[in-house]
Amino acid sequence: MGKKFALLLFIIQQVSFYSHAATYYVSSQGSDAQAGTSIANAWRSLKRVNATTFKPGDRLLFEAGQTFGGTLVLQGAGTAAQPIVVSSYGSGPATIASGTAAGFYSYNAAGIELRRLAFVGAGRLSSTNSGVVFYLDAPGTNLSYLRLDSLDVSGYRSSGISIGSWQGSSGYSDVRITASQVHANGEAGLSSYSEGLAAHHQWYVGTVQAYDNAGRADVTTTNTGSGILLSGIDGALVENCLAYHNGWLNANPDGGPVGIWGYCCNNLVIQKSESHHNSSGTAHDGGGFDLDGGCTNSVLQYNYSHDNGGPGYLLAQYYGAPAMHDVTIRYNVSKDDARRDSQGALLVWSSGDNGGIQRATIHNNTVLLTPTTDGSSPTAVLITSGGFSDLAIRNNVLQTTGGLPVLGTVSTTGLRLQGNCYWNPSQLVIDWNGTRYTDLASWRTATGQEQLGTGRLTGLNADPKLPGADPTRAPMAISPVRGAGLNLQAEFNVNPGPQDFVGNPTPAMPTAGNIGALESVTTTAAPLPVVLTAFTAQRVGPAAQLGWHTASEAGNAFFVVEYSLDGITFTSLGQVPGQGTSTQPHTYSYTDANLAQYPAGPVYYRLRQVDTDGQATYSPVRTLAGLGAGPAAQARLHVYPNPAAPTARIVVQASAGTQVQLLDIRGQLLASVPVAGDGSASLLPTSGLAAGLYIVRCGTQSTRLLLTQ
């Protein structure tokens, strides 16, 4: 009887707790004298918001498409189960225009979700702060649960997004930053920091784009202008991110920015990301990816770096840095990095402090390097200092042209090169501790490199035969690097990792794999459970007709059709069975007969696709106008898939009878297609276009399209 009473009391307490959570609205047509608990009696200003202390479970929603001036200072904290949610209501994001101050500020608090908002500062030369700021200085405190999703942050002097702590080991845990853009800021797009090592725990950064973060010409004591910079975290994963055109105003003479990197982190993994056209205003860094001072048990893998001023991939131990050990660079691609200042596509530098760089492995990467336009002389692999121990460089394709060196080093103690392919079609050049070698055999004989302890000779001086000199494509069937790699697990007890650059499995013992970043002739990544080629929503009388198409399915159990009236909380409408596993295209449909019963305003739809093993993924969101809304509400511009492979069929949803245009980043028109009566248009496969950003435009609306390799 006592247990039943205790359970009943717990339920009553929970119901009472949830009943106190409220939703507050802020509208350009509202009034601060109102309660704020509905659209009809919404608040008007950030001043009214900042005077309120929010409770766990509360939601604060700003009117989409409207701009609100000032800094949003969030008072209160939530929990993982009942977070405080700050977002937009209606179609699109609301904008916080904060002038010279921060756009958002949270102090010593977590349990917060920040979604579907734009934060705009006065510009990196006028602003005095960062855009979105979470700061913690309470002693002995670990705050859990932050969610930052679908944010656009620009125009701030410091970082677009800054999350930091400064009280010993105090920090934030369970942090996710996703689907956001950080651009046109001064010091960084996204950054973290802490006073103590590993103060933060378990972070995820995914599908974040960081670009046009210039650096600061007035700061000479530290590097500025990075895209994504993480520090002080124990357990962080960065994936599917993009960093480009950052850092050109860095003025620190002793070091520069990097597109995506970390320092003083343990178990940091940066993977499946792209970093290009980053630079530095000084003669250091300005590269693609970096594991820097104090990083331990950390990995760079499956990344694509190209056309950076500095190194594509860097290992560096700065002066005074904590111990740096057990770091790996594997299955990455570098194409035409080190465009300035005679740097290396793969570069290692160490001060030697606290043991320098200890136990570092660089394996199965592919480097393609051509001459620069400024007359500098880059090197495929460049070791610019001593201060390291047990540095192993194995199974890499190192290809240069125009007489550029494949290898240069000023220190050889603790360095082993084994199983690499070195190639220059005119003249092989190896600069080894002051001595130049022009053939593999004489270098091997003089140095003992490219051989095993048993006396077995390794390494190749041969054309790797990369199709079209493209390092992202698998070597030709006749390539000498196929099956010529050393089996790292069998030979050295080194775990090669589960996959190669494009998702092919790495060879199991004792099988020999390829030299370079690709393990087979295919360049297609492991298939997705369901390849969704289109998802549309259109009004048919009083109902919503939803339709979607799949190109293939693997273990697809069913789809759940979900709707939402605020774009945040989704409710299930019904379930549609999948096809299990199929390589054939299939068409699905679902009718929501309740459309006419929803209140005026946008109605959001999405699909939750569930695999046979219970794993779930979500489709893009589609929007229809609810009852009483005008036709303009149906004219939102959607592009899918995005990002897309060059061979993908790209579906655009827009206003019927209009024209959809595809433009390059400079505004040059590449294609124009009409929008059909069902509100959809199809852009033909774009295999003739280079990877990068493009613009899809329809009327006054536009959105970015990212083409990947």
pLDDT tens string 522-579: 333 334 567 777 788 888 777 888 998 887 888 888 999 988 876 666 788 889 999 8
Q: For residues 107 and 72, what is the distance between their CA atoms, to the nearest angstrom?
A: 12
Q: Are strands 59-63 and 23-26 parallel, antiparallel or unpaired?
A: parallel
Model confidence, pTM:
0.74
pLDDT band, very low/low/confident/very high, at 15 (cuts 50, 70, 90): very low
Say which CATH topology domain 527-634 has.
Immunoglobulin-like (2.60.40)
Q: Of 281, 343, 334, give the one whose Cα is nearest residue 306.
A: 334
Identify the pLDDT of residue 526.
38
Average pLDDT over residues 267-275: 97
Radius of gyration of the chain (CA): 27
Place of tokens 């499995």: 505
Q: Which has more confidence, 157 or 1?
A: 157
* 568 contact partners, CB below 8 Å, separation of at least 6: 59, 61, 85, 87, 115, 116
Confidence of residue 357 (pLDDT cuts 50, 70, 90): very high
Please give the angle made by the CA atoms of 514, 395 and 377, to the nearest 5 degrees.
120
Q: What is the pLDDT of residues 582-621, one digit of tens each?
A: 878 888 999 988 877 777 667 888 888 888 877 777 777 7
Per-residue pLDDT tens for 432-477? Answer: 999 999 999 999 999 999 999 888 999 999 999 988 888 888 888 7
DSSP-derived secondary structure for 324-387: EEEEEEES-EEES---STT-EEEEEEE--GGG-EEEEEEES-EEEE---SSS---EEEEE----
Looking at 191-195, 485-489, 643-647, which range is the least confident one? 643-647
pLDDT-derived band at 13 (thresholds 50, 70, 90) equals: very low
pLDDT of amino acid 624: 79
**Closest CA relative to residue 367, chosen from 332, 326, 405, 410:** 332
pLDDT of residue 646: 66
The rounded percent of the chain whose pLDDT value lies above 90 is 67
Strands 112-121 and 94-99: parallel
Query: Among 136-145, 510-519, 683-692, which is the least confidently predicted range?
Result: 683-692
CB-based contacts of 148: which residues, under 8 Å, 6+ apart? 113, 114, 115, 132, 161, 175, 176, 177, 178, 180
Cα 14 to chain centroid, rounded: 38
pLDDT given for residue 329 in this prediction: 98
Q: Rounded to an integer, what distance in angstroms lies between the CA atom of residue 59 and that of residue 87?
A: 8
Q: Which pLDDT belongs to residue 47?
A: 97
**Whole-angstrom Cα distance, residue 62 to residue 27?**
6
Mean pLDDT of all residues in 270-294 = 96
Better-predicted residue by pLDDT, 679 or 128 = 128
Q: Are 399 and 424 in contact (CB under 8 A)?
A: yes
pLDDT in tens, 651-672: 676 766 788 888 776 667 788 8
pLDDT at 597: 74
Q: Which residues contact 174 (CB under 8 A, 6 or more apart)?
A: 80, 144, 145, 146, 201, 202
Q: Under a CB-based contact definition with an 8 Å cutoff, are residues 218 and 250 in contact?
A: no
pLDDT of residue 493: 92
**Under CATH, which number does the domain 635-709 receive?**
2.60.40.10
CA distance 133 to 130: 6
Q: What angle do CA 34, 37, 43 make, to 5 degrees?
A: 45
The pLDDT tens digits of the residues spanning 36-62 come to 999 999 999 999 999 999 999 999 999
pLDDT for the residue 600 = 65
Residue 301 has a pLDDT of 97
User: How is residue 595 annotated by DSSP?
Assistant: G
Q: How confident is the model at residue 639 (pLDDT cuts 50, 70, 90)?
A: low
